[in-house]
A and B are shown apart, each in its own frame.
Chain A
């Protein structure tokens, strides 16, 4: 998406950074995480990533082709959506359902709003929310990681025929001598059985057969690369994790035995992945620094609330979607004070910009379009 004309007041700093570059870097940083995911779950995970991403790209192409959406395939945004979506789905999620998730992510989450930059909600999470609502049983079916035959054999549920129910993984696991406990995600085990997985096992994801996603440690490292290169704002993940940890700590301190420790809350489920990669989606998160803190804080608190007090074991997805919905409001209430206007001076109703009012964004309702200095069609000399 290369904008050719931009009307702004001086001074201008020409940055070399483009949307494509940012997106490409996000994709690079996601690659190690995907590799880890494949290492954990083998063939099924690889197929899932491929199918979901391909579905996203094809849908994006269809909408770009018909001209209903801005952007192009080469901006990598659909690739990111696909990779993230695949990482949030269980590795043994039937491939056809993965394709449905990819298609609905782009169609409902992105194309509906007009394409890249216009989406209100994170497309990957919209896709996940759709399949969560459509196939609640399949999306709650996890399998343990590091199974011995994972690189030669698919998880049977992956290969379900389109529109058909997936094969029973519980029976398959039983045949391999794993009990049903190992295939429940740590959050589900806590919610339904009161079993708290040790936090350190969750941080590395390497401690034996657990139904967990890629290591939170790795995700934080990859996110740190993005944040250090300023491709991502560090405030949002810090705010999300901080507020989730804090609210979990408060609840833990208040009613200790009933609730797990804050470290379990932080490293279980998709909180770290959501905080680092999904809450930070540029189009759907606030741009004001104070807004970022507020937005992250809201997501963190909501996540803990949903996990503790709802019927669902995991709440990151809905928390981020609610945060996305609140973003315009948050941006409105956290507009920074313009330079030169101290808190003592009340800003006038229509003048809250440092720039000349003629040059503020055209989307602003009260904005005036700059006066044209030149005639559009110069009268021809005759």
Chain B
């Protein structure tokens, strides 16, 4: 297991970003995705917090994988994930109270984010630490991209700014709906539409004669 070729590692890394993107393909962890993607900064900090928890807990789960008996593995994973969520909670408070207030309960709720438990159970518990962390990193980058895609669109339309920088001048008319919950669903729907259209085209190209190697 330890002599993973570089290509395989890269594949593991890319899995979460494209093929199994947690937001656009697996549609997991929708609760934070919809709730905190009101602005690009919120979305990005939520994504980074999740990334920290995901990578650290996958690393630790993978380290302990031979030690933990099957019967108590879920309990162990939850304890580990909860630990890192608490750490992230403290760190965000220390870094910026504004972000902490904006993210609210959703920082603590990272603990129930199914992406993390799913990765710990499906991948980290079966792979060595490096591979597990690479895969977790890919997944969380995919999650950050998803969150950012939503947050950017909602902030641009909902406030006329991106990262707090005004894009359209002072006379911009904000689309109130975009910072309200329905806006999250509508923008997510639009992204899913785009993503699946892209995927379908890619598959059609591969399926076309001469496009790929066999069906």
Contact = CB atoms under 8 A, between A and B. Distances in A.
A interacts with B: yes
A165 B171 contact: yes
A375 interface: no
A138 B173 contact: yes
Contacts of B171: 161, 164-165
Interface stretch (A129-137, A315-323, A351-359): A129-137
B175 interface: yes
Nearest to A132: B177
Nearest to A162: B173
B133 to A, nearest CB: 40
A218 interface: no
Interface in A152-176: 160-161, 163-166
B45 to A, nearest CB: 26
A134 B177 contact: yes
Contact of B176 (A133, A163, A165): A133
Contact of A164 (B172, B177, B186): B172
B182 interface: yes
A133 B182 CA distance: 9
Contacts of A196: none
Contact of A166 (B168, B173, B178, B180): B173
B172 A135 contact: no
A108 interface: yes
Interface in A118-142: 130, 133-136, 138
A130 B177 contact: yes
Best-buried of A108, A130, A163 by chain B (most CB within 10 Å): A163
Interface residues of B, number: 13
Contacts of A164: 168-169, 171-173
Contacts of B169: 164
Interface range, A side: 10 to 19
Contacts of B172: 163-165
B175 A135 contact: yes
Contacts of A160: 173
Which of A94, A108, A164, A166 has the largest count of B CB atoms less than 10 A from its CB?
A164
B176 A134 contact: yes
Contacts of B160: 163
Given A163-B168, A164-B168, A135 B182 contact: no
A135 B180 contact: no
Contacts of B180: 133
Interface in B100-152: none
B201 to A, nearest CB: 12
Nearest to A97: B173
B132 to A, nearest CB: 40
Interface string A88-108: 000000100100000000001
A382 to B, nearest CB: 34
A135 B172 CA distance: 12
A134 B168 contact: no
Nearest to A165: B173
A317 to B, nearest CB: 15
Interface string B158-188: 0010000000110111011110101000100
Contacts of A165: 171-173
Interface centre among A108, A160, A165, A166 (most CB of B within 10 A): A165
B197 to A, nearest CB: 9
A135 B186 contact: no
Instruction: Name which of A94, A130, A166 has the most chain B CB atoms within 10 A of its CB.
Output: A130
B110 to A, nearest CB: 29
A130 B168 CA distance: 22
Contacts of B182: 133
Interface string B47-84: 00000000000000000000000000000000000000
Nearest to B160: A163
Nearest to B168: A163
A130 B157 CA distance: 14
A138 B174 CA distance: 11
26 contacts: A94-B173, A97-B173, A108-B186, A130-B177, A133-B176, A133-B177, A133-B180, A133-B182, A134-B175, A134-B176, A134-B177, A134-B178, A135-B175, A135-B176, A136-B176, A138-B173, A161-B171, A163-B160, A163-B168, A163-B172, A163-B173, A164-B168, A164-B171, A165-B171, A165-B172, A165-B173
Q: Which 7 A-B pairs have the closest CB atoms?
A: A133-B177, A134-B177, A165-B173, A134-B175, A164-B171, A165-B171, A134-B176
Interface of A: 94, 97, 108, 130, 133-136, 138, 160-161, 163-166
Given A135-B173, A138-B173, 8 more contacts: A133-B176, A134-B175, A134-B176, A134-B178, A135-B176, A136-B176, A163-B172, A164-B169
